[in-house]
């Protein structure tokens, strides 16, 4: 009898605990994008969403109006308010079943997503001039920061069982909106911060920056698994990514080190295909944004063609998930003394020309021959901002460096004509360097190049059969061509038809 009562008591306790857990899981919540000090996207319908007990009515009050919705069977709810112009501060009030949530100090402006790997994650406090920027304390109240950061330890660390389980549940990212102050700015992406600072200075529009970046992460981890599965080009990385030749060796090695203590045969990792989309990006796809800035590629440089396919898929899939033709501005990899980087930079240049609504900030002039994390981030953020200011905000500025338009022969010279320049010059006011000639037998020669306003002339030595002109094609390059705005020209290669030379 006593055993029966004891058993019944244990069962009741377990049931009670389970019901408490279910109620906790179903409690009224807002999605991760919503917290004090947030920015809502202007000029687009304002979508406010979250979770509540299934079937429960949720009322949301915002800017003098109230909208209601019932949580669906999965506990999800959303309401939509009409678009608003920039302004604030405002308050969001959410109530359901006697519970109430308040979101204070809400601005209406433009929201930019800042994503990629370690060079986007690179904190302002570690950048050249970053400590001075923080110490000066001149932070705009119109800049708001949401660092949605991974809690999984980086580096050669074997994750403990609790972290391994958290990774399996896709619960590694955390963060909330903050105003710009010394602490929040110092820890935020240097590239993202300088981008937002420049936009605010030029437009006066409140800018919200959402940082979702993870050091070492490959491109495929930021694309949803269903999209990857629909394209046969990526089949080799989906089922056993840790042993796939399509995945960079370093990425696979780090994955093995972090999961060394795993006991589950289906253990997940933050570098695996689709992971960072599900855990870090999907929570924001119902949250309207103005556009994306992206700094990534170091973990895909081993296969230039595969990266090109992945990057194009990344852009098109994110636009599909947000149901918007998002402007997408990205950073070309810098120069460093490693193989494949010139070809990768040239591929990125071609991607910017091929994919509509994108733009590329050149960075080879800011590279470090030995360090994959160059520290001059202010210039990168400003260059990205110039692209957005020109394309999105309609500013009549020079937004990029010289862009190669055509090449032709003129006697014993090759002539290269550039756009996005009123007059060509060099970054350091020294003689032009960085041009090479590639011959039919695969040899490379430094080219004798000269500037003629918007054209470069290259003298070809007699009897030299040239197939291509290369620029900034050394892994670590000191190429110095720029335009009147001192914005550098990209790494490029261009073929010279046999009929010409």
Question: CB neighbours (10 Å) of residue 433?
Answer: 17
Predicted pLDDT of residue 26? 57
pTM above 0.95, yes or no: no
Rounded CA gap, 197 and 199, in Å?
A: 6
Burial class (CB in 10 A: 0-12, 13-18, 19+), 416: buried
DSSP 8-state symbol, 281: I
Q: How many Cα atoms within 13 Å fall on the side-chain side of residue 64? A: 3
Predicted pLDDT of residue 4? 45
Average pLDDT over residues 106-110: 98
Predicted pLDDT of residue 23? 40
Q: Tell me: the pLDDT tens digits for 176-206?
A: 999 999 999 999 999 999 999 999 999 999 9
Residue 14 has pLDDT above 80, yes or no: no
Helix (H, G, I), strand (E, B) or coil at 392: coil
Predicted pLDDT of residue 9? 39
Predicted pLDDT of residue 25? 44
Q: b/e map of 482-500 (b: 16 or more CB within 10 Å)?
A: bbebebbbbbbbeebeeee
Rounded CA gap, 102 and 28, in Å?
A: 12
Domains along the chain? 29-107 (2.60.40.10), 111-391 (3.40.50.1110), 403-495 (2.60.40)
Rounded CA gap, 498 and 106, in Å?
A: 62
Percent of the chain with pLDDT over 70: 94
Percent of the chain with pLDDT over 90: 91
Q: Tell me: the pLDDT tens digits for 480-492?
A: 999 999 999 999 9
State the Cα torsion 177-182-183-184 to the nearest 10°: 20
Residue 147 has pLDDT above 60, yes or no: yes
Q: Tell me: the pLDDT tens digits for 426-459?
A: 999 999 999 999 999 999 999 999 999 999 999 9
How confident is residue 403, by pLDDT bands cut at 50, 70 and 90? very high
Rounded CA gap, 209 and 205, in Å?
A: 13
Predicted pLDDT of residue 15? 40
Share the mean pLDDT of the chain. Answer: 93
Rounded CA gap, 400 and 497, in Å?
A: 28
> According to the 3-state scheme, what is the secondary structure of 70-113?
ECCCCCEEEEEECCCCCEEEEEEEEEECCEEEEEEEEEEEEEEE
How confident is residue 348, by pLDDT bands cut at 50, 70 and 90? very high
């Amino acid at each position: 009898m006593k055993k029966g009562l004891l058993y019944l008591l244990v069962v009741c306790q377990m049931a009670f605990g389970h019901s408490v857990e279910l109620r906790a899981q179903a409690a009224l919540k807002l999605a991760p994008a919503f917290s004090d000090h947030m920015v809502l996207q202007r000029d687009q319908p304002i979508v406010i969403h979250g979770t509540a007990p299934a079937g429960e009515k949720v009322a949301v009050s915002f800017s003098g109006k109230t909208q209601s919705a019932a949580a669906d069977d999965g506990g999800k709810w959303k309401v939509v308010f009409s678009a608003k112009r920039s302004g604030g501060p405002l308050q969001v009030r959410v109530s359901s079943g006697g519970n109430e949530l308040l979101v204070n100090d809400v601005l209406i402006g433009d929201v930019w997503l800042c994503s990629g790997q370690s060079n986007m994650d690179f904190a302002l406090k570690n950048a050249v001039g970053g400590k001075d920027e923080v110490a000066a304390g001149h932070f705009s109240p119109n800049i708001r920061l949401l660092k949605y950061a991974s809690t999984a330890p980086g580096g050669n660390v074997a994750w403990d069982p609790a972290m391994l389980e958290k990774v399996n549940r896709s619960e590694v990212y955390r963060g909330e909106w903050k105003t710009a102050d010394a602490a929040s700015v110092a820890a935020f992406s240097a590239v993202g911060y300088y981008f937002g600072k420049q936009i605010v200075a030029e437009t006066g529009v409140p800018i919200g920056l959402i940082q979702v970046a993870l050091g070492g992460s490959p491109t495929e981890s930021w694309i949803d698994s269903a999209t990857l599965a629909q394209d046969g080009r990526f089949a080799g990385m989906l089922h056993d990514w840790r042993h796939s030749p399509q995945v960079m060796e370093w990425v696979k090695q780090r994955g093995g080190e972090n999961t060394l203590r795993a006991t589950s045969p289906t253990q997940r990792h933050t570098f695996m295909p689709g992971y960072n989309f599900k855990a870090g990006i999907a929570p924001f796809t119902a949250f309207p944004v103005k556009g994306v800035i992206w700094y990534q590629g170091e973990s895909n440089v081993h296969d230039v063609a595969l990266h090109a396919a992945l990057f194009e898929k990344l852009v098109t899939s994110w636009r599909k998930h947000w149901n918007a033709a998002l402007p997408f501005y990205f950073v070309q990899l810098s120069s460093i003394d490693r193989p494949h980087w010139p070809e990768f930079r040239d591929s990125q240049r071609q991607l910017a020309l091929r994919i509509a609504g994108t733009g590329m900030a050149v960075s080879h002039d800011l590279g470090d021959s030995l360090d994959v994390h160059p520290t001059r981030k202010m210039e990168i953020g400003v260059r990205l901002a110039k692209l957005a200011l020109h394309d999105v905000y309609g500013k009549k500025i020079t937004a990029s460096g010289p862009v190669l338009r055509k090449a032709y022969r003129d006697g014993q010279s090759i002539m290269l004509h550039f756009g996005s320049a009123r007059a060509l010059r060099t970054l350091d006011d020294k003689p032009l360097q960085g041009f090479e000639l590639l011959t039919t037998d695969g040899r490379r020669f430094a080219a004798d190049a000269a500037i003629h306003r918007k054209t470069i002339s290259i003298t070809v030595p007699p009897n030299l059969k040239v197939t291509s002109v290369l620029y900034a094609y050394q892994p670590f390059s000191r190429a110095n061509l720029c335009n009147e705005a001192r914005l550098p020209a990209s790494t490029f290669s261009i073929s010279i038809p046999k009929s010409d030379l």
